[in-house]
Copies of this chain bind each other. A is one copy, B any other.
Amino acid sequence: MKVGIVGLGLIGGSIALKLKDLFDNLTIYGYDIDHESISYTIKNKIIDAKYDEDLLNELDYIFLAIPVESIKKQLQNYLDKISEKTLIIDLGSTKFQISNSVKDHKKRKNYLAAHPIAGTEFSGPGSASKDLFKNKVMILCDTKKTDSNLLLNAKKIIESIGMIIKIMDSKEHDRQIAYVSHLSHISSFMLGKTVMDKEDDEQAIYNMAGSGFESTVRLAKSSPEMWSSIFVENKKNIIESLDEYISNINNFKKLIEKSDKKTLNNEMRRINGIKEILNGIK
């Protein structure tokens, strides 16, 4: 099997490591705009060689693990050049605009829109791990537009790296992921900003920060380039979620102003229910 991986960061690097772990007869060609990531991944045997456009025809799979805006810019170009047997899988955190941008492409069936619900706040191939995807969900979108044999084989690979497949419409995916993932990142970045702006004395933050703050602000360590691209790409849904978030905070603030403990308690007791949701459905 020959695989191309474009983008050798946390996601691209982790896929390479896991595929290497699973398959013997496999060659991985990798590319990244950061040349150091290419040398690092070759040196550490994460990939076998640098990807070259001449190889395109020979590849079974091409994974696009680059910022969503770059995916949108390059997907058409890759589709133009690949052979009939190749499947391109993009791994971006937004799906509708990417999927929609090639909806009329004559090789649309050679493309699969995917979103692995896996990641950490760290970036770069040095953070990659072969276990990143273990027991995590892989959302596949608009799968009816992908060739059924190519899809079947892709599903086998995705399952072999330990993932659980869920199928969604790309528009619905973007609407929901704005709430469950993108909003968390903004709330965390803005928490970090508010605290840093206030505390000119960094030692004070360090002394007073408990594990609660650390956990809530963890996502503020995430890659700016990756996330600015997502925020702009999924702008409409994210702004809707932000408006609801701000409105909820304003209402909660009013309850605090009125010292209305009874309603505060009722509100928080209901929100405590997130515990059961996260444990799986009751």
Instruction: Please report A residues at the B interface, Cβ cutoff 8 Å.
Output: 117-121, 136-137, 139, 166, 176-177, 179-181, 183-199, 202-222, 224-225, 227-229, 231-232, 235, 238-239, 241-246, 248-250, 252-253, 256-257, 259, 261, 264-275, 277-278, 280-281
Contact = CB atoms under 8 A, between A and B. Distances in A.
Nearest to A186: B252
Tallying the copies of this chain within the complex gives 2
27 contacts: A117-B209, A119-B212, A121-B212, A139-B208, A176-B198, A180-B199, A181-B209, A184-B191, A186-B249, A186-B252, A187-B187, A187-B216, A189-B252, A190-B248, A190-B252, A193-B270, A194-B245, A196-B277, A198-B241, A198-B244, A202-B281, A209-B278, A217-B274, A222-B272, A225-B265, A227-B264, A235-B257
B261 A232 contact: yes
Given A180-B195, A184-B216, A249-B242, A221 B257 contact: no
Given A184-B191, A197-B244, A256 B281 contact: no
